[in-house]
Amino acid sequence: MKDLVRKLHKERRLEACEYRSLLLCEDRETIESLHEAARETAVERFGKNIYIRGLIEITNICRNDCLYCGIRKSNGNISRYMLSDEEILECCRYGYGLGFRTFVLQGGELPESADSKTVTLCRAIHGEFPDCAITLSIGERFPDSYRRFREAGATRYLLRHETHNPEHYSRLHPEGMTIGNRLHCLDILKEYGYQTGTGIMVGSPFQSADNIVEDIIYIEKFRPEMIGLGPFIPHKDTVFADYWKTTTSILPEKSHKEEGLDLTLKLISVFRLMLPDSLIPATTALATLVPDGHEKGILAGANVIMPNLSPPRVRGNYSLYDNKASSGAEAAEGLGNLKVQLERIGYNIVTDRGDFRTT
């Protein structure tokens, strides 16, 4: 097994069956050697520096009805909000003062009619903070909308493909949403010059080890600049509310939670070894699953953290999954705590933009 880690480290890729073996591997020493190789690769490339991105959850209004997501349109149990441009700019001003030089605007999918508002918002942020990067994470749009956002100053876009397998995709999404369109959006984003992020939920309902292997192979081909990997966590107002209680996990003898952690960390390491220059966050979902999720993610090869910069009053309503962390070291105002957490494992926060660069 350790030979697989060495091979991945050296050749930056494996055969499908080899990825599968690594994902299913339960040997502690092999898993530790995978994380160690990935960690060393990240340190060679970035030093012990962690980039921070201020995450602003601009709206929880969504036209989509993804079966796993707490802000799906059919969830009547949350109060819907949309931040005004001025409120968003206030978040940016506050974040700028704390040292943030990237603002990630994330939100539910709004109708096309909202695109002009997004353009105005990007222009306003770009005008006031010309030294900052604007990252959008607002779902599937028309190519022309992506083009307009880009011209208005957005340079990065996050759109997880969630799962590459069409059948699996259709079990997680409502009719009308297709993996084909998702991948088309990703191709367009890349073509329009965005630094593009994709990724998956790990341990999502009905996911098999083979599905994850397909995701790895897709990402190997697509070569995104950013890779988002977070464990699936049930949300009480979705059809998957009891998923953890009523199903068994992929890895024998592991609970869903343990499996989500194990597989997420393995995938962070696999992608660090495959794409050494990529930007990989230790995600909020990982930090929600276990209290030391950030540290574990970084020690497996992650190099980005995205603290929450949203106004505290709306954070509870941006509930993608149950108990989503948004305070303490997860919050922008808790940056001091995060700094201490990272220093304990020998890492520092850096405040430069941290654009994707190849060595």
| Beta strands at 226-231 and 195-202: parallel, antiparallel or unpaired | parallel
Q: Starting from the edge strand earliest in sequence, which strands make up the sheet with 348-350, in order?
A: 304-305, 49-52, 348-350
Stretch that binds ligand 5AD, among 20-28, 116-124, 215-223, 225-233 (CB under 6 A): 225-233
For ligand 5AD, the closer CB: 260 or 354: 260
Q: Examine residue 89 and tell whether it contacts ligand 5AD (CB under 6 A).
A: no
Q: Examine residue 146 and tell whether it contacts ligand 5AD (CB under 6 A).
A: no
| Amino acid residing at 37 | A
Q: Examine residue 68 and tell whether it contacts ligand 5AD (CB under 6 A).
A: yes
What DSSP element (H or E) covers 342?
helix 335-344
Stretch that binds ligand 5AD, among 9-17, 30-38, 109-117, 228-236 (CB under 6 A): 228-236
Distance CA 277, CA 269 (A): 13
Q: Examine residue 69 and tell whether it contacts ligand 5AD (CB under 6 A).
A: yes
For ligand 5AD, the closer CB: 162 or 262: 162
Stretch that binds ligand 5AD, among 36-44, 94-102, 231-239, 330-338 (CB under 6 A): 231-239
Strands (E), the chain: 49-52, 54-59, 102-107, 133-137, 156-158, 195-202, 226-231, 304-305, 348-350
Per CB under 6 A, the list member of 23, 233, 302, 309 interacting with ligand 5AD is: 233
Q: Examine residue 262 and tell whether it contacts ligand 5AD (CB under 6 A).
A: no
Q: Is 303 exposed, middle or buried (0-12, 13-18, 19+ CB in 10 A)?
A: buried
Give the sign of the dihedral formed by CA 191, CA 194, CA 195, CA 200: negative
Distance CA 148, CA 104 (A): 17
| Distance of closest approach, residue 160 Cβ to ligand 5AD, in angstroms | 4
What DSSP element (H or E) covers 219?
helix 209-222
Annotated binding-site residue? 343: no
| Distance of closest approach, residue 78 Cβ to ligand 5AD, in angstroms | 13
Per CB under 6 A, the list member of 25, 285, 335, 338 interacting with ligand 5AD is: 285
Per CB under 6 A, the list member of 150, 156, 160, 164 interacting with ligand 5AD is: 160
In b/e form, how buried is each residue of 69-100, taking b as 16+ CB within 10 angstroms?
A: bbbbbebeebeebbbeeeebbebbeebbeeeb
Q: Examine residue 321 and tell whether it contacts ligand 5AD (CB under 6 A).
A: yes
Annotated binding-site residue? 162: yes
Contact 308, 57 (CB under 8 A): yes
Q: Examine residue 235 and tell whether it contacts ligand 5AD (CB under 6 A).
A: yes
Q: Examine residue 218 and tell whether it contacts ligand 5AD (CB under 6 A).
A: no
Distance CA 152, CA 217 (A): 33
Annotated binding-site residue? 62: yes
Q: Examine residue 318 and tell whether it contacts ligand 5AD (CB under 6 A).
A: no
Whole-number Cα distances in Å, 353 to 88, 134, 223: 19, 10, 21
Annotated binding-site residue? 137: yes
Q: Examine residue 162 and tell whether it contacts ligand 5AD (CB under 6 A).
A: yes
Q: Examine residue 320 and tell whether it contacts ligand 5AD (CB under 6 A).
A: yes
| Distance of closest approach, residue 235 Cβ to ligand 5AD, in angstroms | 5
**N- to C-terminal Cα separation, the chain:** 29
For ligand 5AD, the closer CB: 107 or 354: 107
Q: Rule CB under 6 A: which of 196-215 touch ligand 5AD? A: 201
Annotated binding-site residue? 93: no
Tokens matching residue 224: 């995104």
Tokens matching residue 283: 């995600």
Q: Examine residue 186 and tell whether it contacts ligand 5AD (CB under 6 A).
A: no
Going by the annotation, the residues of the binding site for (3R)-3-methyl-D-ornithine are 137
> Which residues would be at the binding site for ligand 5AD (CB under 6 A)?
68-69, 160, 162, 201, 230, 232-233, 235, 285, 320-321
Going by the annotation, the residues of the binding site for S-adenosyl-L-methionine are 162, 182
